[in-house]
Amino acid sequence: MRLYTVLNVMQAICFSCSGFAAGLPEAGGEGSVRAVQSVRADRRSGRLVRVTEFRTPGGRRVPAAQAVRPLVEHTAKKHAVDPELVDAVIRAESGYNPAAVSPKGAAGLMQLMPATARRMGARNRFDLAENLEAGVKLLKQLRERYGDDRLALAAYNAGEGAVRKYNGVPPYRETAEYVRKIEAAYQRQRAAAPPAQPGQEEPEPLRSLLVETDAEGRVFLRTR
């Protein structure tokens, strides 16, 4: 999916990941990754685009998927959705670009339309926590409604009206490719994941992850 961004008020969002992202430095027992958004001219189109970079306190760049993964894990498990499925949807929707805006106006990590964001309770579509919360809630609702991941993904991409109209995956090339791409990525991720050991419990840090927002709109991830 080709994505464009628009000029908006620049934001700076801080994350305290407590060492959840591999390789991040720890100071006083708590590592941190800072996500800074800036506006630049795209080399190919000449358009102004908003770019998000994740950096450690020392200035080292961190891949977006790695930096955001703790929040993805937390939100997905909160709503009983497989984090790997959420990850695959994000990669297909925005490529982990929190500032992404599609030609149709969908925005953020999970590419929410304004009406959908409002319905799911997200007031700021560019806020990582709000966007993820709304997107995962929508994905869960669609999976429960259709009882089929392919139909849920098709509805996420083309809308529930299109799925209802065609009584299945709409015959749209973009939607068919979207569903195929996510299914393939999801299966690869599940196959690569280490098998769960009998009686193995979920890692305690993810279950006790706290998400907080301060008065300036910065999001913090902390452990108890």
Q: pLDDT tens digit string along 23-75?
A: 333 223 345 788 777 777 877 777 777 778 888 888 888 999 999 999 999 99
Alpha helices by DSSP H, listed for the chain, are 64-78, 83-93, 114-119, 128-146, 149-158, 160-166, 173-192, 204-207
Of the CA atoms within 13 Å of residue 138, those in its CB half-sphere come to 26
What is the rounded distance in angstroms from the CA atom of residue 18 to the CA atom of residue 159? 38
Known catalytic membership, residue 93: yes
Count Cβ neighbours within 10 Å for each residue of 29-40 and write b for 16 or more, e otherwise.
eebbbbbebeee
- For each of the domains in the chain, give its residue range(s) and CATH number, in order of start: 12-195+203-223 (1.10.530.10)
Mean pLDDT of the residues in the chain? 78
Cβ pair 148, 131 in contact under 8 A: no
Q: Read off the pTM.
A: 0.71
**What phi, psi does 68 have (nearest 5°)?**
-90, -15
The first and second tokens of residue 178, run together, are 């979207």
Q: 46: left (phi > 0), else alpha (psi -120 to 50), else beta?
A: left
* Rounded-to-integer distance, Cα 51 and Cα 41, Å: 10
Please give the average pLDDT of every successive group of 10 residues along the chain, which has 224 residues.
34 32 31 76 76 85 92 96 96 93 94 96 94 98 95 96 95 96 92 66 38 52 44
**Spatial distance between the Cα atoms of 196 and 161, rounded to a whole number of angstroms:** 38
From the list 73, 93, 130, 133, the catalytic residue is 93
Chain centroid, CA 168 distance in Å: 26
